[in-house]
Amino acid sequence: MKKNISKIPPHIRKRLNAFDSDDVVVACVKRLAIDDLGRYAHLGISYQAPDVVLPPPAVPPAKVGRYSKTNVEGREVIRKDLPKTTKTFSFEAPNYGDWSKGSHTVSHTREVYHRDFIAPKELELSIELLPNASAGRFHIKFAIEQVIAKAAPDFDADLLYNLNLLQENVGAVDVFPSAATLADYTKTVQLAWEILPPGSIDVVVRRMLENKRAVTDDQRRTMEERLAVFSKFSPMAYLAGTSGFLRYFGAQFKDDLVVFENLTYGNALYVMRANWQTLSKRSRIELLKGPRDDFDRIEHRQGWEEALRLVLQTNGIAPTGLFTRRRRR
């Protein structure tokens, strides 16, 4: 099921050429017996006699394969075709080898290759039960929730990406004309932000979650923990995506300095150095597209709080509350 496709299959090209519509979606229909359904448990499919239980549209798990991981986390491309650039790296070190005596920032400069960041698309997979089930067998449609236009310059690249995403998760590929239009899809990737004034973490979280779909207790705790870290740097405002499902949230520290992350799929936060008026007009994919010089990506691993502190400090923002550093063991 996880085998990737290196080029667009001939039968897919033939199907595309037969379509009158310019807008298409990557999808397939599979005829599955009850015993087959367990192969798709990673997508949330189950059987509760006498019904097949299907999940709402969702981003496939990153662990399924290379494209599924890129869809959730994005990826970096090292540009060895370009000249190296000079970059300064900073980290905290203990005074005289003893953290109890305080610490200081150590910086060093070296030549590095330019890196481009390919943003996570976070494409969702929708699963639909079709009519005509019979004798313990079901017709189920799997579709990547993105409309792509045959006339678009990136059509082949987007098509191959989506085919691989479907192949990794379902083990089959096909294409269909889209009843939705590309304009309908574009509306789903535009970000709209609500700007919230500073306040207690409880109040900020409550306002962020107003009129949104419910989040789990773990997701709420994650929001509270991340916002508590942001609050130590006295943001001028907090930010929340205004779609029905809260994905992006963060904080603004200057007109041209914003920190945000994705509650549901992200394993990293992003420090954007861009004019807020320009930033707020970009789609969620455009936000993170292109040279890494435009933003810093900080993965949520041990020490991420310290990494954020160093980046914000470099941009003239210092913590005003107690900033606790985890000591090395």
Given this model, what pLDDT does residue 239 score? 87
Given this model, what pLDDT does residue 315 score? 86
What is the spatial distance between Cα 264 and Cα 72, in angstroms, rounded to a whole number? 10
Given this model, what pLDDT does residue 25 score? 93
Model pTM score: 0.64
Task: Tell me the three state secondary structure of residue 316.
Answer: coil
Output the DSSP codes for 135-157: TTEEEEEEEES--EETTSTTHHH
Cis ω for the linkage preceding 235 (within 30 of 0): no
Given this model, what pLDDT does residue 162 score? 96
Output the DSSP codes for 189-206: HB--EEEE----HHHHHH
Given this model, what pLDDT does residue 329 score? 40
User: For residue 245, what are its two tokens?
Assistant: 């499902």
* Pairing state between β 98-112 and 85-95: antiparallel
Given this model, what pLDDT does residue 282 score? 63
Q: Where are the alpha helices (DSSP H) in 232-262?
A: none
Given this model, what pLDDT does residue 102 score? 81
What is the spatial distance between Cα 2 and Cα 326, in angstroms, rounded to a whole number? 39
Report in angstroms the alpha-carbon separations of 315 from 17, 158, 271, 287: 52, 36, 10, 19
Domain ranges of the chain: 10-74+121-188, 76-117, 190-314
Given this model, what pLDDT does residue 32 score? 87
pLDDT averaged per 10 residues in sequence order, the chain, 329 residues: 84 91 90 88 88 89 92 86 82 82 82 80 89 76 91 92 95 86 56 80 88 80 91 91 67 89 74 72 61 74 88 86 52
Given this model, what pLDDT does residue 144 score? 94
Given this model, what pLDDT does residue 103 score? 81
Given a contact cutoff of 8 angstroms between Cβ atoms, the answer to whether 9 and 173 are in contact is yes
Q: Which has the closest alpha carbon to 60: 45, 75, 77, 38? A: 45
